[in-house]
Amino acid sequence: MQNHIKDKIEAISARYPDKKSAIIPALDILQREKNNNLSSEDIREVAHYLGTTESRAYGVATYYTMFNVKPVGKYHLQVDTNIPGFLTGADEILKHLEKKLGIKSGQTTADELFTLTEVQDLGSCGTCPVIQVNDIYYENMTLEKTDMLIDSLRKGIMPEPDKTSYYSTECNILLKNRGKENSRSIKTYKSNGGYKTLEKALSMKPSDIIAAVKEAMLRGRGGAGFPAGLKWGFLPKNDDRPVYLICNADEGEPGTFKDRQIMEYDPHLLIEGIAISAYAIGAKKAFIYIRGEFRWIAEILEKAVKEAEDEGHLKYTDIVVHKGAGSYVCGDETALLESLEGKRGYPREKPPFPANKGLYNCPTIINNVETLATVPFIIEHGVEEFRKIGTTGNFGPKLYGVSGHVNRPGMYEFPLGTPLEKILDAAGGVKGKLKAVIVGGLSVPILRADEIKGLKMDYDSCLKAGTMLGSGGIMVINDTVSIPELTLRTIGFYAHESCGQCVPCRKGSHTIKELLKKILHKNGTEEDIELVLKLCRNIKGRTICPTGDAFSIPVEAMILKFRDEFDALVSN
Amino acid sequence: MELKKMIIDEREVFFEEGKTVLQVARENDIYIPSLCYHRKTGPAGRCRVCLVEVEGMRGLQTSCSLPAKEDMEVKTHTEEIIEAQKLFINLLLADGHHNCLSCEANGECELQQACYHLGIEVPAFQVDSLKEDYDDSGEMIRRDPNKCIHCGRCIDACNSVVVNEVLDFGYRGRDVKVICDNDLPMGDSQCVQCGECSQLCPVGAIIDKKSIGKGRTWELEKINTTCPYCGVGCQLTAYVDKKKNHIVKITGREVPPNDGMLCVKGRYGYEFVSHPDRLKYPMIKKDGKHVRVSWDEAIDYTAERIKTIIKRDGPDVFSAFGSGRITNESNYAIMKFTRAVIKTNNVDHCART
Ligand SMILES: Cc1cc2nc3c(=O)[nH]c(=O)nc-3n(C[C@H](O)[C@H](O)[C@H](O)COP(=O)(O)O)c2cc1C
Ligand code: SF4
Ligand code: SF4
Ligand code: SF4
Ligand code: SF4
Ligand code: FES
């Protein structure tokens, strides 16, 4: 390994309590130095350098999709064909590229200029279709823009990406700085009171902060809606191990693109939230685990952390931005811990829970970006003000990401409990005739058009309506869409992302995918549909992590609610 | 230790604190299908087949990771459990290539055993899956990925039991496979062919090459004995083809001192036992030819020669070598004999460098 690479790896590994944690960043550094490719020899060197086994390092390199163990061309074009992309024409773009470049997905052009890959969910649901070229996202793509992009790349120029995206806010909390000039600079942030709340918090007793968050009934925004204050209370008392806070910025579930709005446009809001929360739980070190594809956002965060440090706001807690490398399952909190420890993203069996045995076997709290970014408001304005927003037991603001068949897909901040119809109106209304809505990211049961009347978008109301608020990623589907096709896309995503650790998920997702393909190709039978349902029923609740539920629940709902469309495919 | 009581399938059973439900069931001869748990590698939670129903707990639990508790009431074969177990095993069968007819693991395979108990004769459904090649590069071990159920026992064994750190999982999802180092053929990797992975593989995905086709477990006599190679005294079981009077396979016994582990010599170096050149009785060279003699004659002859030579040339022309293959006590006796009887300090040991 050349010395300058060694120095870089050395510098990065010094940020972790255990240098094995630096394996993903180290592989990333090496890959960048080697024209975007990783050889077996590179991986072996990293293993030796960080003191881990060769097979462990190779297992890591082949687990995460962002490591190119097979060679790729100068420009790696990745087209996201997951649901929001599928709804907005990503398939056409992929086909167009295949024709234009004369290669299939997974191949490289003879001149080694382009590699084309079909990928699953880049977190751009509101700005689909998206093509990722090396580190850059080209969003809001059309066939025409695709042609322009390729022509430009052929000339060796990476064009400026189109950054348009729709948003609005009724609460002015999470998106309050969005749209301001230099919204991400510490100057802008401080100009209306930023970091004053942290000062206030540091003068409070940590237990009083925890009590306030508890009383505010702030529910986790990562998907499960678990009360944050209650989770913090699970930390063991009188324990001399260090405590860690991890901000989950993996944002990998199709339909979800909310956390990036905070991180990209108001990073200091998140950093202040992390600093307050870390102080409350006694964490001297906090990590932001951000999905690796959001490289430019990670850079924004790193810069913001540096600014906050320089201005003396991070004296209590040191914040490390850690980039993942392409794995949805690493959003699961225990998979995230493994990944952060430098391993494959294999979820752990629970118990023990992370509050007791988390990162490096130490007490650890993991919260979503939006959850932590909401904390400053509670401390600044008090519990009472916070509880004025939203509905009983579902207090506070919420980011709703709307994608698919609406006129203005984007990010809309409303109080929890806002009617779905109102949110859809804010998003410019439905394009065409509404057929179905998935209200909380791809892992929740789909709702038919007739089921959404009057639906309030909060945790309890969604549960009552037979679905879940999840991440608040709303995917709107009009009547041009075949639900069996949508179901295949759904399972396609999970089969691609399954970590492969447990049988029902590894083999189940693949088998369901194969059965649905068979049905869609009109080779299926009624028994195949029944078998898919039986698999869903049996997988639910029986896997190591909730990924098994995350596909069996929505797939089952799609079939049960749109059975006639499936029957039509098998009856003739 | 005080025993606690719990109920499994309406039967009262007693257990020591700290055991899992699967362990308690096994101790009481209650069979719960399980594919990934092994005492030495611990609960892995990967197969999800060891399901049980527990009074007062929602859903089904994996018994391998569930601590047994006083007064717990457990059911092991409700309809719900059996449906799930059958389905999960069918998933494995559908996307693998199993044919017990000529499989080396036949009769000792934990997947086959589970199928037998659940009455699965043929896979209930099939999905397309390509057949992969064996990895036959290892000197002693064959790996057959088509039969691998990804339980991870070999990996945990290699990393945590014998600590050779060769194996791990590579790739992801359905493409997951067990890799050696940088996904090298086993024979090119750092593997020392200790065979611990082969011993702990619950199916026929890692097998001992030399035993292939040499006899099925129930046709072979199993003889427990001590490894003759070194002084550690590893305990092993020799699988013997009685008719041919040949050892065809060796496995380690899970008792002290080796708890199942063996080295490459102990596990795979057994041909010498029936090698035609093997020295089986004492011989003395008479008229240029080795002739079989009795032990008494051999010992008398040797003693006589030692005495004569020492008398002629003094004790320092004598030297003795101990051996790593014999016990401490025997090595002590050699030392004592050399110093006290022969009266020389010329005593050494083959393991000294
Ligand atoms: C497969 C899977 C993926 C997940 N992905 C994310 C994610 O991308 N971001 C996130 O915040 N939570 C994700 N979660 C939920 C986390 O496990 C965890 O519950 C959450 O980060 C806790 O934060 P909260 O309580 O603030 O919501 C995921 C869970 C699973 C099972
Ligand atoms: S449910 Fe899926 S993602 Fe979760 S541990 Fe099992 S195989 Fe991995
Ligand atoms: S591994 Fe087991 S189930 Fe598979 S063929 Fe061999 S004996 Fe049969
Ligand atoms: S034979 Fe021994 S060293 Fe080789 S892979 Fe198996 S357990 Fe590891
Ligand atoms: S080779 Fe055997 S022990 Fe290893 S994972 Fe496969 S089935 Fe399990
Ligand atoms: S034996 Fe319990 S999950 Fe495999």
Nearest CA in chain A to B79: A538
pLDDT over threshold 80, residue A572? no
Within an 8 Å CB–CB cutoff, is residue A544 touching chain B?
Answer: yes
Give the rounded percent of residues in chain A with a pLDDT score beyond 70: 100
Tens of pLDDT, residues A280-338: 999 999 999 999 999 999 999 999 999 999 999 999 999 999 999 999 999 999 999 99
Tens of pLDDT, residues B234-289: 999 999 999 999 999 999 999 999 999 999 999 999 999 989 888 999 999 999 99
Mean pLDDT of A243-252: 98
Our mutation pick for probing the ligand 5 site, out of B97, B113, B143, B151, counting the most ligand atoms within 8 A of Cβ, is B151
Rounded Cα distance between A222 and A371, Å, is: 7
A vs B: CB pairs below 8 A: 127
Look at residue B323 in the predicted model and tell me its pLDDT.
Answer: 86
Rounded Cα distance between A498 and A505, Å, is: 7
> Is B214-278 CATH 2.20.25.90?
yes
Confidence class for position A409, pLDDT limits 50, 70, 90: very high
Mean pLDDT of A223-240: 96
Look at residue B325 in the predicted model and tell me its pLDDT.
Answer: 79
Mean pLDDT of B181-201: 98
Mean pLDDT of B296-301: 97
pLDDT over threshold 80, residue A276? yes
Q: Which residue has the higher pLDDT, A204 or B353?
A: A204
pLDDT over threshold 90, residue A113? yes
CATH hierarchy code of domain A483-570: 1.20.1440.230
Distance A500 CA to ligand 2 centre (A): 6
Read out DSSP for A197-227? HHHHHHTS-HHHHHHHHHHTT-B-TTTT--B
pLDDT over threshold 80, residue A344? yes
Tens of pLDDT, residues A464-482: 999 999 999 999 999 999 9
Closest CA to A506 of A489, A493, A494: A494
Q: Beta strand B206-208 with B141-143: parallel, antiparallel or unpaired? A: antiparallel
pLDDT over threshold 90, residue A243? yes
Q: Which sequence spans correspond to the domains of chain A?
A: 3-63, 75-154, 168-387, 390-478, 483-570
pLDDT over threshold 80, residue B6? yes
Tens of pLDDT, residues A172-194: 999 999 999 999 999 999 998 99
- CATH topology (fold) of A3-63: Arc Repressor Mutant, subunit A (1.10.10)
Average pLDDT of chain B to the nearest whole number = 95
Q: Which sequence spans correspond to the domains of chain B?
A: 3-77, 214-278, 283-352
pLDDT over threshold 70, residue A358? yes
pLDDT over threshold 90, residue B127? no
The continuous run of DSSP H or E covering A248 comes out as strand A243-249
Asked whether the beta carbons of A402 and A409 are under 8 A apart, the reply is yes
> Among B35, B48, B166, which would you mutate to test the A interface (most chain A Cβ atoms within 10 Å of its Cβ)?
B48
Identify which ligand lies nearest to the alpha carbon of A346: 2
Rounded Cα distance between A410 and A127, Å, is: 7
CATH hierarchy code of domain A168-387: 3.40.50.11540
Mean pLDDT of A481-503: 98
Read out DSSP for A485-502? HHHHHHHHHHHHH--S-S
Asked whether the beta carbons of A92 and A60 are under 8 A apart, the reply is no
Cβ neighbour number for residue A45 with a 10 Å cutoff:
19
Look at residue B327 in the predicted model and tell me its pLDDT.
Answer: 83
pLDDT over threshold 60, residue B353? no
Average pLDDT of chain A to the nearest whole number = 97
Cβ neighbours of residue A172 under 8 Å, at least 6 residues apart? A413
Distance B165 CA to ligand 4 centre (A): 8
Within an 8 Å CB–CB cutoff, is residue B173 touching chain A?
Answer: yes
Cβ neighbours of residue A211 under 8 Å, at least 6 residues apart? A229
Tell me the one-letter amino acid at A425.
D
Asked whether the beta carbons of A248 and A274 are under 8 A apart, the reply is no
Mean pLDDT of A109-120: 96
Q: Beta strand A283-290 with A318-323: parallel, antiparallel or unpaired? A: parallel
Q: Domain A390-478 class?
A: alpha beta
Span B3-77 CATH architecture: Roll (3.10)
Rounded Cα distance between B35 and A510, Å, is: 20
Tell me the one-letter amino acid at A110.
A
SS3 category, A434: strand
pLDDT over threshold 80, residue B1? no
Confidence class for position B130, pLDDT limits 50, 70, 90: confident
Look at residue B352 in the predicted model and tell me its pLDDT.
Answer: 65
For A306, the token pair is: 């540096």
Kindly state if the Cβ of B8 falls inside 6 Å of ligand 4: no
> Among B57, B60, B182, B190, which would you mutate to test the A interface (most chain A Cβ atoms within 10 Å of its Cβ)?
B182
For B291, the token pair is: 């002739």
Single pTM value for the model: 0.94
Q: Which chain A residues are within 8 Å of B203, Cβ to Cβ?
A: none
Cβ neighbour number for residue A418 with a 10 Å cutoff:
22
Kindly state if the Cβ of B140 falls inside 6 Å of ligand 4: no
A3-63 and A390-478, same CATH topology? no
The atom of ligand 6 lying closest to the CA of B34 is 1
Span A75-154 CATH architecture: 3-Layer(aba) Sandwich (3.40)
For residues A62-72, one letter each, b for 16 or more C-beta atoms within 10 angstroms of the residue's C-beta and e for the rest, the string is bbbbbbbbeeb
